[in-house]
Amino acid sequence: MTLEAPPPGDGPPGACPVVKLSVLKQRADFLRAARARRQPMPGFLVQARLRGPDEPAETPIRIGYTCSKKVGNAVARNRAKRRLREIARAILPVDGRAGWDYVLVGRADATAGLPFDQLKTDLATALRMLHK
């Protein structure tokens, strides 16, 4: 018995297309995003920039996460970043745009304290506002 992968687009109804997200790791990428567009939301700040034609396009969407010590101790910062990673994983393949870098910046008490559904809604709203 051989198992074959289903053809693309042949998933369950309502399933989003598979979009590869790459994580920003270089400080220079975070600094470039910090100088670009930003959209504050109650639970986090979104920084976004369109990559230039001379920059590598190994993945369509790149994402970075950051939480300063204002968010709290290491446990609080890690919890906030885990929540940011999950909302990005759920929303960016649908509402993100290819060729863009996004950085999600956690906020003290808000990122870890707000309901998860509100964070997802806020990210979708922020992306619509950034791409106007």
pLDDT of 81-118, one tens digit each?
999 999 999 999 999 998 899 999 999 989 999 999 99
pLDDT surpassing 60 at residue 53: yes
pLDDT for the residue numbered 2:
47
pLDDT surpassing 80 at residue 5: no
pLDDT for the residue numbered 35:
96
Full 3-state SS string of the chain: CCCCCCCCCCCCCCCCCCCCEEECCCHHHHHHHHCCEEEECCCEEEEEEECCCCCCCCCCEEEEEECCHHHCCHHHHHHHHHHHHHHHHHHHHHHCCCCEEEEEEECCCHHHHCCHHHHHHHHHHHHHHHCC
Q: What are phi and psi of 89, to 5 degrees?
A: -65, -30
**Share above pLDDT 90 across residues of the chain, in percent, rounded to a whole number:** 72
pLDDT for the residue numbered 16:
52
pLDDT surpassing 50 at residue 28: yes
Rama region for 32: left / alpha / beta (φ>0; ψ in -120 to 50; rest)? alpha
Average pLDDT of the chain to the nearest whole number: 86
> Quick one: average pLDDT of 121-129?
96
pLDDT for the residue numbered 17:
56
Pairing label, strands 44-50, 37-40: antiparallel
pLDDT surpassing 50 at residue 3: no
Q: Distance (Å, rounded) from C-alpha 49 to C-alpha 47? A: 7
Of 61, 62, 83, 82, the closest CA to residue 17 belongs to 61
- In this prediction, residue 6 has a pLDDT band, given cuts at 50, 70 and 90, of very low
Q: Distance (Å, rounded) from C-alpha 88 to C-alpha 99? A: 16
> Quick one: average pLDDT of 35-47?
95
Give all domains of the chain, ordered by start, each with its CATH number: 21-130 (3.30.230.10)
